[in-house]
Amino acid sequence: MTGVTIFVGILIIISAIFAVEAKKMLDSFIALSLMSLLTVFLFVIMKAPDVAITEAAVGAGLATAVLVLALNKMGGDSQ
Amino acid sequence: MRRFISIVIVFGLIMFFINTLSLLPKYGSVNISKVSEAYIDKNVNGNGGNVKYNESESLENGAANVVTSIVVDYRSFDTLGEVTVLFTAALGVSLVLNGIRRKKYGRRPNFILRVSVGILLPLIILFGTYIFIHGHLTPGGGFPGGTIIAAGILLLYLSNEEFDLSKTPKFVEGISGSLYIVTGLVGLAIAGVFLINFLPTGIVGDLFSAGIVPIVYILIGFKVGAELSGIVADLHREG
């Protein structure tokens, strides 16, 4: 189980770096959503189901949608 | 031929769900672990001792979920502040984006989205309601439950060009927020402390237990759901 946890942790760091460095805004949002989803996995392993449910609903679900809607409202991707 | 294959697949799925449901333990009859027993056995005065799941009555705080008992009972004033922060954020969004008409995407949503919303939406709303009604028994509570309901509303917005929320969520939000404070004031009038758990706490693990904890979490669920639905609706306004 430790190996899986370390692998997920490395994936979280990679997606966080990608979210910061991505050229397009939309790619960054998707990477952020992926990071939240992987964090949910770590929360479940660390026996924090309350936080996991909240993170899955807010971080991976609604926050991504709100960011994409706000990007749409701003008028698409500008560098 | 395609119809035959789909009937076989649906039948297989139904059999799978029936078999899985029969494997689940009956509601309330679970073997809880040592950690969960230590969590149920909580007391501020330090002499809890021998608390049995589904048997012990009239504890200090009857919630089976220790996180909920802290969030809504011991540190309820903190939650009131948290709800206020969320209200301020929603207020800011609706002040910045004050539109009149609903924004149209100008294209027909695809078939899978349109059909699956009709099937999934009641289940999503039901699941969100379950999460906040059972907040004192299982993980979850008002905040994730409300967010799931708001995600259902977002799905409605994406799948239907004509759908638009009226002013109802604003009223629901205001009324449930005020009722939370009224609950606290009733506690102040009865027991002398703001937001104290003044109702009888019942048996640990029952649906109707833990005093005001489920009531407050239902109010928070309505409030957060209406607030976040309001944010989604504001993002879809223009003009």
In percent, how much of chain B has pLDDT > 70?
96
Q: Greater confidence, B186 or B39?
A: B186
Instruction: Assess whether pLDDT exceeds 90 at residue A47.
Output: no
Task: Decide if B158 is inside a domain.
Answer: yes
> Distance (Å) from the C-alpha of residue B191 to the closest C-alpha of chain A?
30
The pLDDT value given to residue B93: 87
Q: How far is CA B213 from CA B8, B36, B40, in A?
A: 46, 19, 15
Instruction: Assess whether pLDDT exceeds 70 at residue B83.
Output: yes
Which range (B182-186, B201-205, B210-214) has the least confidence? Answer: B201-205
The pLDDT value given to residue B28: 63
Q: Greater confidence, B206 or A20?
A: A20
The pLDDT value given to residue B47: 65
What is the complex's ipTM, to 2 decimals?
A: 0.85
For residue A52, which residues of chain B lie inside 8 Å, CB to CB? 139
Q: Which residues contact B114 (CB under 8 A, 6 or more apart)?
A: B159
The pLDDT value given to residue B125: 92
For A72, nearest residue in chain B (alpha carbons) = B235
> Distance (Å) from the C-alpha of residue B59 to the closest C-alpha of chain A?
23
What's the gap between Cα B149 and its chain centre?
8
The band of B48, judged by pLDDT with boundaries at 50, 70 and 90, is low
Task: Decide if B40 is inside a domain.
Answer: no
List B residues 57-76 in contact with A (Cβ-Cβ < 8 A). Answer: 65, 67-68
| Residue that is written with structure tokens 């995600």 in the block | B151
Instruction: Assess whether pLDDT exceeds 80 at residue B44.
Output: no
Task: Decide if B139 is inside a domain.
Answer: yes
Across chain B, mean pLDDT equals 84
Q: Greater confidence, B152 or B191?
A: B152
Asked whether the beta carbons of residue A73 and residue B97 sit closer than 8 angstroms, the reply is yes
Instruction: Assess whether pLDDT exceeds 80 at residue A46.
Output: yes
Q: Greater confidence, B64 or A19?
A: A19
For residue B141, which residues of chain A lie inside 8 Å, CB to CB? 50
Asked whether the beta carbons of residue A66 and residue B235 sit closer than 8 angstroms, the reply is yes
Number of domains in chain B: 1
**pLDDT digits over B102-148, tens only?**
888 778 888 888 888 888 999 999 999 999 898 888 888 888 999 99
Mean pLDDT, rounded, for B61-77? 84
Instruction: Assess whether pLDDT exceeds 60 at residue A79.
Output: no
> Distance (Å) from the C-alpha of residue B151 to the closest C-alpha of chain A?
6
List A residues 6-65 in contact with B (Cβ-Cβ < 8 A). Answer: 47, 49-50, 52-54, 56-58, 61-62, 65
Contact predicate B48/B56, CB 8 Å: no
What range does the domain containing B148 cover?
Answer: 63-238
Mean pLDDT, rounded, for A5-9? 90
Q: Which residue in B211, B57, B51 sits closest to B136, CA to CA? A: B211
Q: How far is CA B151 from CA B145, B174, B231, in A?
A: 10, 20, 11
Mean pLDDT, rounded, for B149-156? 90
The pLDDT value given to residue B206: 77
Instruction: Assess whether pLDDT exceeds 70 at residue B226.
Output: yes
Mean pLDDT, rounded, for B45-58? 71
Contact predicate B165/B227, CB 8 Å: no
